[in-house]
Amino acid sequence: MTALVTFGETMLRLSPPRGERLETARELEVQAGGAESNVAVAVARLGGDAAWFSKLPDSPLGRRVVGELRSHGVDTDGVVWTDDADSRQGVYYLEHGAAPRPTNVVYDRADAAVTTLETGEFDLDAVRDAEVCYTTGITPALSETLRETTADVLAAAQDTGTMTAFDLNYRAKLWSPDEAAEGYRDLLGSIDLLFAAERDAATVLGRDGDAESVARGLAEDYGIETVVVTRGEAGSLAVSDGAVFEQGVYDAETYDAIGTGDAFVGGYLAKHLDGGSVAESLEWASATASFKRTIEGDIAVVNPEDVERVVADEGDGISR
């Protein structure tokens, strides 16, 4: 039994050296990146037991993704391999910005193998046996098939008491706010633990009050046990069974901000799986997210001692 099962797409991230542009770069650094596998890696590295499920082309590119995730301790046995000649490995290009030039993401992920992943191909017993099943709003945005699979997997998890966890993770390059709102509404009734960036809740779900009222509103409207609203530099707030918990951010020098939200979720789930309270899980979430900012790549190459040091150095981490 794996404590945490995650599922979604992992792409290869290709990025020019800092200060160079995609238009002219001669070299591209290759790394793996995907919201759900980023969370699995953070949990595995922080001592938890984590698996990632997906569908990949049986090619050097697909094997590259799996090799990188395994190197961090993630169980990839549930990956479905396809040798369909049309199946693709999703790729994204990342040009690091430097003010006033913004960081730019260019997706090349249409028709990736994972977009054809059907419920029948999924190891639902592993989901039913897990403590937590996690995915994000990126997965149902990728195809109609994945939208159905996501709903089926989350429902199967909830039916047998596996906690379902979900991050809205709105990606404007994948769907419009109206499409995303419809996609989210189909799933939110099957979620036990929701992570929502304040801006996603406002842009997509029209929830633009203060963080506590956003969290309470989502918890009540969809029957969600715990809602965590993240507010960037303003920290995070959770409403869990009606009680409110607040957490500030830890100071960090930002080297690469991509994957910070996933590191937050990874830190939270690692502590939760270790028996931590909501307050302790939020503290680990915040510390892991800050630590990630200092690291190149989508993945939080973090160890438990790193998180413990961040938490210890900064007292309770609450910025007042």
Write out the residues near ligand KDG by the rule CB under 6 A.
33-35, 38, 138, 171, 258-259, 261-262, 298
Residue 30 near residue 12 (C-beta atoms within 8 A): yes
Minimum CB–partner distance for residue 141 and ligand KDG (Å): 8
Q: Would you say 92 or 284 has its CB closer to ligand KDG? A: 92
Q: Would you say 245 or 268 has its CB closer to ligand KDG? A: 268
Q: Would you say 54 or 281 has its CB closer to ligand KDG? A: 54
Minimum CB–partner distance for residue 159 and ligand KDG (Å): 27
User: What whole-number distance in Å separates Cα of residue 209 and Cα of residue 58?
Assistant: 47
Q: Which residue is nearest to ligand KDG (CB)?
A: 33
Q: Would you say 34 or 235 has its CB closer to ligand KDG? A: 34
Minimum CB–partner distance for residue 242 and ligand KDG (Å): 30
Backbone angles phi, psi at 302, to 5 degrees: -130, 150
The catalytic residues are: 262
Q: Would you say 36 or 192 has its CB closer to ligand KDG? A: 36
Minimum CB–partner distance for residue 316 and ligand KDG (Å): 27
Output the CA–CA distances (angstroms, integers) from residue 302 to 81, 239, 255, 306, in the order listed.
29, 27, 15, 6
Supply the DSSP string of 43-86, one letter for each residue: HHHTT--EEEE-EEESSHHHHHHHHHHHHTT-B-TTPEEE--TT
Identify which of 99, 61, 102, 98 has the alpha carbon closest to the alpha carbon of residue 82: 61
User: What whole-number distance in Å separates Cα of residue 82 and Cα of residue 7?
Assistant: 17
Minimum CB–partner distance for residue 169 and ligand KDG (Å): 7
What 3-state class would DSSP assign to 170? coil
Beta bridge partners of 15: 29
User: What whole-number distance in Å separates Cα of residue 10 and Cα of residue 66?
Assistant: 9
Q: Which helix (H) or strand (E) is 178 found in, with range?
A: helix 177-188
